[in-house]
């Protein structure tokens, strides 16, 4: 199935990695310069009461994301024992803070979710609200240091976030670099089930909203675990330390949707159409697609063709190797899908043609052609899998921000070829010409009226088999 609704993962501008050895920008100082206490009323549905302490700063102008500003209420700063109210000016609140300051305000979280209904700011149901902290934490411009957040929420309600928990901290306490707050990933408030999937050093926390029947929470956890296990098998190693997956009921009739945000802890939001059955989840590609985004460094929105192309190309590979997709279905969908990624008249290469077809299927075409090139050049002993394994082995996940040049260099080094660099020049910086009919012929794949047959005497038949089997000839 064609990807329909994936927001590119690369929303983390700048360096948001907390420890990444690959992060080339200056390391954030370890001191906490913004300290937040948030009390979630009625599980956050009735809003938040927030008190914050800020270290001394020259300009005390506080903001949230622009769309989220109308839901900030009753901002005041402490003056001795008293609280002094502050009015908003152009969605900004100025407080005297030359020697540090204490600020309190309320945030209409439930109202924001109802009115904005947008996963990047606030979205939710009667029971659960998902909103990145960038929506509801007033902040000055980032200036090094870390922020700390403590959330008070009474059971049965819960708070879930992918943000790092400092060692020895009280429950519901998180810390991250101030630079990451403006791009922070999903957090959830409300009445949801939580489950955890632990695979070696990889921990995936799953927050499961009510309203997903006939799916049970156990069905949802199994769905996420299947995707985690498929990608673990693909890489042969844990591809991230921690990830939060939040599953909300979606709009009736809508397909399953997924979005990934990376800064201050990667999180995936999945909206599942009501009425999905456990059997239907077997055919669903969304969680695997999003977790592949989680596994790889952010390349920035301008290189979405590469991050979306990889997720589009590798997701069915992962599911074919775990037996969730038959080889026939795998090849039929590739034969039917890839032509949507071919350049049309006026194309300026993948880097400069931002259409849906070129982003998703054009990017997938790049990966497919690269996979065959690497396998041909290495007598099928290396593949596109190895390029991605090399990148993941370098310690990068979606929290790290890489240039496309670095991505290609590390990928090529892992296969001992220059396949990615050469194809980047011919397909990304220029329209490129790919003869798909000839490739199907050489691979021995024939699709007629939706029926797939394979020719084992075709010259690239061993490569075709290795692509779905995951084995290479040594």
Query: Which residues of the chain form contacts with Zn ion (CB under 5 A)?
Result: 6, 308, 311
Contact 188, 128 (CB under 8 A): yes
Of 36 and 186, the one with the shorter C-beta distance to Zn ion is 186
Nearer to Zn ion, 34 or 234 (CB): 234
The CB-side HSE value for 415 (13 A sphere, CA atoms) comes to: 31
Burial letters 295-309, b for 16+ CB under 10 A, else e: bbbbbbeebbbbbbb
Residue 109 vs 306, nearer CB to Zn ion: 306
Question: Does residue 294 contact residue 314 with C-beta atoms inside 8 Å?
Answer: no
Nearer to Zn ion, 398 or 460 (CB): 398
Q: Measured from the CB atom, is 294 or 463 closer to Zn ion?
A: 294
Radius of gyration of the chain (CA): 24
Q: How far is the CB of 296 from Zn ion (least distance, A)?
A: 11
**113 and 122 in contact (C-beta within 8 Å)?**
yes
> What 3-state class would DSSP assign to 305?
helix
Q: Closer to Zn ion by CB, 6 or 204: give it.
A: 6
Q: Least distance from C-beta 374 to Zn ion, angstroms?
A: 23
Of 311 and 387, the one with the shorter C-beta distance to Zn ion is 311
Q: What residues does 198 pair with on adjacent strands?
A: 203
Residue with smaller CB distance to Zn ion, 337 or 462 = 337
| Count of beta carbons in the 10 Å neighbourhood of residue 453 | 11
Tokens of residue 359, six digits: 């982003």
Q: Do 200 and 217 meet the contact criterion of CB atoms below 8 Å apart?
A: no
CB of 107 to Zn ion, least distance (A): 30
Which of residues 308 and 397 has its CB atom nearest to Zn ion in the complex?
308
Cβ–Cβ under 8 Å, residues 201 and 164? no
Looking at beta carbons, which residue is closest to Zn ion? Answer: 6
Q: Is 342 exposed, middle or buried (0-12, 13-18, 19+ CB in 10 A)?
A: middle
> What does the DSSP 8-state code read for residue 400?
S
Distance CA 296, CA 67 (A): 29
Residues 128, 190 contacting (CB under 8 angstroms): yes
Q: In the complex, what is the shortest distance from the CB of residue 308 to Zn ion, in angstroms, rounded to a whole number?
A: 5
Residue 24: CB partners within 8 Å, gap ≥ 6? 15
Q: 157 by DSSP, 3-state: which?
A: coil
Orientation of helix 286-295 relative to helix 217-235, angle to 10°: 50
Rounded least distance, CB 57 to Zn ion, Å:
37
């Amino acid at each position: 199935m064609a990807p329909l609704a994936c927001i590119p993962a690369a929303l983390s501008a700048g360096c948001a990695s907390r420890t990444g050895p690959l992060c080339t920008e200056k390391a954030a100082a370890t001191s906490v310069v913004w300290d937040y206490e948030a009390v979630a009323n009625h599980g956050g549905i009735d809003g938040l009461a927030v008190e914050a302490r800020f270290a001394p700063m020259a300009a005390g102008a506080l903001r949230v994301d622009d769309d989220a500003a109308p839901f900030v209420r009753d901002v005041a700063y402490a003056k001795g024992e008293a609280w002094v109210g502050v009015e908003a000016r152009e969605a900004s609140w100025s407080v005297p803070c030359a020697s540090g300051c204490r600020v309190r305000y309320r945030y209409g979280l439930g109202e924001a979710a109802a009115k904005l209904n947008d996963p990047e700011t606030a979205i939710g149901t009667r029971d659960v609200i998902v909103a990145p902290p960038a929506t509801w934490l007033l902040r000055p411009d980032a200036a090094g240091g870390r922020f700390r957040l403590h959330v008070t929420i009474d059971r049965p309600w819960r708070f879930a976030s992918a943000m790092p928990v400092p060692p020895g901290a009280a429950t519901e306490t998180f810390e991250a670099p101030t630079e990451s707050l403006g791009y922070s990933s999903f957090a959830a408030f409300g009445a949801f089930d939580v489950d955890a999937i632990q695979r070696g050093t990889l921990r995936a926390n799953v927050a499961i909203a009510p309203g997903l029947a006939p799916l049970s929470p156990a069905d949802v956890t199994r769905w996420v675990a299947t995707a985690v296990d498929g990608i673990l098998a693909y890489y042969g190693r844990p591809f991230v330390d921690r990830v939060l997956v939040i599953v909300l009921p979606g709009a009736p009739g809508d397909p399953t949707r997924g979005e990934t945000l990376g800064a201050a802890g990667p999180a995936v939001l999945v909206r599942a159409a009501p009425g999905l059955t456990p059997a239907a989840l077997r055919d669903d590609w969304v969680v695997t697609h999003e977790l592949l985004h989680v596994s790889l460094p952010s390349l920035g929105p301008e290189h979405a063709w590469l991050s979306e192309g990889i997720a589009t190309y590798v997701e069915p590979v992962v599911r074919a190797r775990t037996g969730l997709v038959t080889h026939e279905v795998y090849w039929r969908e590739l034969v039917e899908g890839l032509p949507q990624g071919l350049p049309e008249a006026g194309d300026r290469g993948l880097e400069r043609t931002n259409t849906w077809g070129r982003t998703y299927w054009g990017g997938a075409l790049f990966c497919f052609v690269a996979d065959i090139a690497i396998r041909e050049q290495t007598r099928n002993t290396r593949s596109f899998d190895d390029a991605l394994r090399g990148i993941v082995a370098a310690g990068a996940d979606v929290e790290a921000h890489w240039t496309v040049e670095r991505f290609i260099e590390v990928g090529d080094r892992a296969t001992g070829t220059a396949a990615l660099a050469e194809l980047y020049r011919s397909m990304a910086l220029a329209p490129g010409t790919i003869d798909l009919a000839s490739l199907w012929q050489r691979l021995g794949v024939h699709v007629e009226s939706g029926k797939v047959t394979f020719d084992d005497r075709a010259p690239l038949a061993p490569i075709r088999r290795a692509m779905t089997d995951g084995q290479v000839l040594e």
